[in-house]
Amino acid sequence: MSCKLLSEDMNLLIVNEENKLDTRENINDKLHVLSSNQLSEDDLNSLALVIDGKSLGFALEEDLEDSFLELAVMCKAVICCRVSPLQKALVVKLVKRKKKALLLAIGDGANDVSMIQAAHVGVGISGMEGMQAARSADFAIGQFKYLKKLLLQRFQWSINC
């Protein structure tokens, strides 16, 4: 809420299952409901997916990854909580493999290094958790608040080229 990734009026789609079968059913049920309703742009902008590490492990398996990605791209925000460093990198690699998009990964600790390196552009934030993320990134900043300035400056440079 504080970084405005989620808002009070957003509809949370929560996936936190104990086994693969339940994870598959949860994701497919959500996809069915969303695809059967004609959703407007405002409706899609009010969706946020929250998935825990255990369910994400199942969702990243080959037979579920397409459904998971389809559900994720319908949402304005996707939050993967309690995930391993490997899972962070696998999510980035999945999107990189399946979508024609440039990926930016931002991290501030050693657990973010593999995700930062898997993305097209990595931003490391140095600080409380050490320098590992900043050392492995394409760009390093001292605090999260400098991210906006970095992105705006890089965008301006890319337009002028």
Residues 88 and 152 in one domain: yes
Q: Which residues contact 77 (CB under 8 A, 6 or more apart)?
A: 5, 6, 10, 47, 48, 49
Q: Are 98 and 67 in contact (CB under 8 A)?
A: no
- The verdict on 1 and 79 lying in the same domain is yes
Which tens digit of pLDDT belongs to each residue from 10-36?
999 999 999 999 999 999 999 999 988
111-155 pLDDT, tens per residue?
999 999 999 999 999 977 889 999 999 999 998 888 888 888 766
Say how far apart CA 106 and CA 121 lie, in whole Å. 9
pTM: 0.87
Domain that holds residue 18: 1-83
Per the rule left: phi > 0, alpha: psi between -120 and 50, beta: everything else, 62 is alpha
Phi-psi region of 123 (alpha: psi -120 to 50; beta: other; left: phi over 0): beta
Region for 137 from its dihedrals, namely left if φ exceeds 0, alpha if ψ lies in -120 to 50, beta otherwise: beta
> Last residue of some domain: 37, 64, 83?
83
